[in-house]
Each structure stands twice: as C-alpha cells, then as structure tokens.
Amino acid sequence: MTEDPVKLYVIVMAILLCVLSYVAYDSWKSASAFEAALERAPQEAEQMRQLASDVKALVDQLAKSGLRDGGERVLVLRVQQNAGINPSRFDTGPAPIGRGIKGVERRVTIDFGGGKASAPQPRDKLFRFCEAVERDSSGIVKTIEIKLSRATGEGSPDPGKEDRVIGERYKGTIIFGLRVVE
C-alpha cells in the first residue's frame, strides 16, 4: 500500500468518518420518522379502537342472526314458509363478484309461480316476504334482485288484444345475497 503510516492512518480515518457520517444521518432520519409516528399514535389508536368496536358489532350481529356457515338458506326457507310462498325452484350457491373484493357472495334464488305447486303471488305479499328476510337477518341478507311478470291465469287475452288483465298476481324470481370473507 503505502510506506507512510501517517498517510495510511489519515485515509482510514477519512473512510471511517464517511461511514460514521452516513450512519448518523440515517439514524437521524429514522429518529424523525419515529417521532412523527409517536405524535400520530394517539389519534390512530383512537381510530383503531373505533374500527375494532365496529367490527365487533358486525361480528356480534352476524352471530346473533345465525348466518354463519350457510344459515341464510335456513332463514329464507323459514320466512318463506311463514309467508306461505311455495317455490318452484330454490337454489343456493356463490355468485361471482367484482375484482378486488375479498370473499364470496352467497346467494339464495327463489323461483315461484311456475308450476302447479307454486302459485303466482300478489306483489304486497312478495314485498312483505323480502322485508321479513332482511329484518330477520338483522339487515345482513339483502334482496339483490326481483324479477316479476304478471301472471294472468286462465282466460288471459291473446297477444295484441286490448282485453283487461285479470288478477294482480305475479310470477318470477327473487335473489337474496350475503357477502362473507372466507
């Protein structure tokens, strides 16, 4: 290297000074970031407490409604029997939901008015049925879609005729849904 030990000593000390300067500057930046985080901590802790209580309330609501592990099917069946609606088809299963949403949407689909055992229903009865499902689930199961068509029954007018429609009964499909994280 070099034959002069003083020159070597100065070079080593200059390198050490550069390393120590970098370590001191990096420590100062970290300390500033920690001080800023410490100043924000009380507000963020309060927000976390509020969010935690909101999540706990949702979990309690879900547990109280009995909708864990597919309970929405049982709920809809019970309300449907109380309402006196006989479905021609009753399906359950997941439905695709948009990207970026974690979890799955479980759906219950009811078709009515399409057979002998399943008579068309009045609109107000269907409305009370949907309202009862949402109320009994504590607002967790939602009515997603209602498709109704007027069922005129026997003696219905031919297409294009200007006869009066007989009856106010409807057939169609009602879809209920619930989003869960799995």
pLDDT in tens, 7-62: 889 999 999 999 999 999 999 999 988 998 889 999 999 999 999 998 888 777 77
> In this predicted structure, what is the pLDDT of residue 83?
80
Q: Mean pLDDT of all residues in the chain?
A: 79
> In this predicted structure, what is the pLDDT of residue 26?
92
Task: Give which of 113, 92, 93, 112 is closest to 104, Cα–Cα.
Answer: 93
**Could you state, in order of their start, the residue ranges of all structural domains in the chain?**
1-65, 71-180
pLDDT in tens, 89-108: 777 766 666 655 676 778 88
Q: What are the distances in angstroms from CA 26 to CA 13, 32, 37, 39, 159?
A: 20, 10, 17, 20, 82
Superfamily of domain 71-180, CATH level 4: Ribosomal protein S6/Translation elongation factor EF1B (3.30.70.60)
Average pLDDT over residues 155-171: 62
Maximum Cα interatomic distance, the chain, rounded to a whole number of Å: 118
> In this predicted structure, what is the pLDDT of residue 19?
94
> In this predicted structure, what is the pLDDT of residue 25?
93
Given a cut of 60, whether residue 166 has pLDDT beyond it is no
> In this predicted structure, what is the pLDDT of residue 24?
92
> In this predicted structure, what is the pLDDT of residue 152?
63
pTM of the full structure: 0.58
